[in-house]
Amino acid sequence: MADSVRQDTPLYGRVLIRLTKPFPNFDFSFIKPIRRKAVASLSLPQGGRVLDVGCGPGGSFPFLVEAVGPQGKVVGIEISPLHSELAADRIAANGWTNVEVITKPAKDAALEGSFDGLLMFAAPDVYGSETELSNLIPHLTPGARVAAFGAKLAAGGFGRLLNPIIRALYKLSFSTTPPPSLEPWQTLSGHFEDLEITEYFFGLMFLITGKRRADN
């Protein structure tokens, strides 16, 4: 295996890819209601254009395709060629002609046109990075909506006892992944407003939604 593939796809990702390859529509069922909610929060217009950054195998694509309709466009950005292959399998299996995946780190993706919404689902390397966001935000329409979902540390209660698990899982990720924190949305809050945060799973997961700041 090429070094670039090892570097762009952590071990846990390569294992998951191998297991799920025969099932192009695979997704964890517990996550689907959160994906649905994240996509609904984007308030995408029919015929709209949306970015799914760190799209992985495209688990959010069905919800995004439904939201923008056949005249709309879904653009995934994915750093890992192995994940992009799975996303391509999903696109082919569903016959979607309005979904495209750019296999690049978000910071280097050559984007054309503007987008009505930005989804970063379980993509901390993107929503936690000024560098990656700096290539995305200029392509958002004024008032475009954003949704990001990910892991966090719990501030108290039962969740706090499970914080070591979140810290251990983080060690399996990219070397550049920001360490888990109590408020992993800090980078986003500089660029988006009207933010609403919902916590899940004893405060170990969060969904943040908002819209592009007028002065950004």
Ligand X SMILES: C[S@@+](CC[C@H](N)C(=O)[O-])C[C@H]1O[C@@H](n2cnc3c(N)ncnc32)[C@H](O)[C@@H]1O
- For residue 41, state whether it binds ligand X (rule: CB under 6 A): no
Q: Which stretch binds ligand X (CB under 6 A): 14-22, 55-63, 159-167, 208-216?
A: 55-63
Pick out residues in 91-120 that bind ligand X (CB under 6 A).
Answer: 105-106
- 51 or 68, CB closer to ligand X? 51
CA 46/CA 202 separation, integer angstroms: 35
Q: Which stretch binds ligand X (CB under 6 A): 47-55, 67-75, 159-167, 199-207?
A: 47-55
- 46 or 134, CB closer to ligand X? 134
- For residue 80, state whether it binds ligand X (rule: CB under 6 A): yes
- For residue 86, state whether it binds ligand X (rule: CB under 6 A): no
- For residue 180, state whether it binds ligand X (rule: CB under 6 A): no
Percentage helix, strand, coil, to 5, in the chain? 40, 25, 40
Question: Buried (b) or exposed (e) across 49-77, using 16+ Cβ within 10 A?
Answer: bbbbbbbbbbbbbbbbbebbeeebbbbbb
Among 16, 55, 74, 207, binds ligand X (CB under 6 A): 55
Among 49, 83, 145, 212, binds ligand X (CB under 6 A): 83
For 75, which DSSP code? E
- 112 or 215, CB closer to ligand X? 112
Report in angstroms how near the CB of residue 215 gets to ligand X at its nearest: 26
Beta strand ranges found along 29-130 (DSSP E): 49-53, 73-77, 99-102, 115-121
Pairing assessment for the beta strands 99-102 and 140-151 based on DSSP bridges: unpaired
Contact criterion met (CB below 8 Å) for 117 and 50 = yes
Distances (CA, A) of 69 to 46, 72, 163, 205: 5, 5, 40, 29
Interface with ligand X (CB under 6 A), residue total 19
Pick out residues in 119-178 that bind ligand X (CB under 6 A).
Answer: 121-123, 125-126, 132
CA 100/CA 81 separation, integer angstroms: 14
Catalog residues that contact ligand X under the rule CB under 6 A.
53-56, 59-60, 77-80, 83, 105-106, 121-123, 125-126, 132
